[in-house]
Chains A and B, each alone.
Chain A
Amino acid sequence: MTALAALIRRDIRIALRVGGGALIGVLFFLSVVMLMPFAVGPDLALLARLGPAILWLGALLASLLTLDRLFMADHEDGSLDLIVMSRTPLELACAAKALAHWLAAGLPLIIATPILGLLLNLDAAPTSAVALTLLAGTPALTFTGMIGAALAVTLRRGGLLLAVLVLPLSIPVLIFGVAASQAAITEPTSFGAPISILCALSLVSLVVGPFAAAASLRHGLD
């Protein structure tokens, strides 16, 4: 337990320091969402309708942006060898790393959502609905993305491969994330089904992700 806590603490600390991933993700999210009103034009009704989808796409891309370093940084400096050799099961170590990544890079996106909602002409209620669906859905993005990060670990420029591998897997999360947000805004009665499926997706990836990532790390070592 101390081992996992130490790993989570270390990863969060690195992410929050200069050059870490936490701030980069939020800034990217901010830029993507900022650009949308300029591209779509000053149609406020249209912006409000597209808002949840734009926020979800921005969060998806921002979480992908920093995910490729999840294992690659440890592989490059040799830490991964020691993590694989250690007494902590690799599956748990993977889960701890993903949790740390979500805390450092995923949670700030959710906190930034209400502010970005203003740019998309979303009121307080719709933005909090989007933030809630992001809270339920982003763990799924991180934990499935971790599988791609583990597969791409030995490749020099694995970032692009990661996107190709992970984006198809994140389609269900995107569909139900946006569906839940839209439901919360237009007809709150039908909010239950999509948000339940979103939570289910997160729970499944929470279980499957660490095992798949650990297996591909073991195979990828050389």
Chain B
Amino acid sequence: MLTFIVRRTLWTALIMFVITLLVFVIFFKTPGIDPARAIAGRNPSPQILAEIRHQFGLDRPFPVQYALMMKRLFITRDLVSYSNQGQLVLPEIFAAAPATLSLVFGAAVIWVVMSVAMGVAAAVLKGTVFDPLLMILALIGISMPVFWLGEVTNLITQSRLHDTFLFSWVPPLGYTPFTQDPLRWFEGLVMPWLTLSILYIGFYARVLRANLLEIQNEDYIRTARAKGLSERRVLLRHTLRTSMITFVSLFGLDFGVLVGGGALLTEVVFGIHGVGFLTYLSLTNLDLPVIMATVVYGAFFIVLANALVDIAYAWLDPRVRPT
């Protein structure tokens, strides 16, 4: 176990290093990017540009610049935004994290519950019209791009039908912290949750259905029936339980990506100022320190999710447990 943790940590460090290096190189090697010009504002004189370059260390050799940025990101933790003068980057990310976590956790609950229900229903109803119907529904869910679905949702709930009893409860776009007003927090997140989860419901329902049908043909399911267990027990305790091995490993990775800022489109469409939104802003402003920080934050969560998946995997499947 200890060697596992140590190896894992070393791998994580290596991955982080490579990612940060890549982001750094891509940023500075992309044509037409000059951070100094972005910092300086409109029509700067060459003297001012040179002064800014010197002040931000942009005139120093490449490796030194990289090392300095890493030092300010990880050690002194006082990395400052390029475009927002004086704005410390790390507190900004920590302030944005709760919004992202709220969004992703809620969506994950919906998508797990719904996709298990749909996948199981489709597998059980195989041979009837409901199975293809559910699967077409799932395919539609997968096919709708989040930004489009989000805009349509906003159009309906914020404008067209906002004055009817259906959607009059939907608050204006934006995020209200849970600590400030739990009810408002919930109301404001219902539509984003649904929008974000629909893609995953469709995808997971299809994967789960296929997996369940595959497992239903296994010898041990026949054994379970021959033992005289009820169909319900065979389905829940044997078929579904075994297919959770696949389900959970997929879930862990998707969840990690989303917490790490992958819900960017949903956050932008619904005006939720989370980590994805921050990434979006920093990309439009070419604000390297913020890009760097969000990328590291995202990579951290993805690696963390990976480790958790491995642990969950061992918990779910005794065959992969180290003995």
Is B a genuine binding partner of A?
A: no
Binding site for B on A (CB under 8 A): none
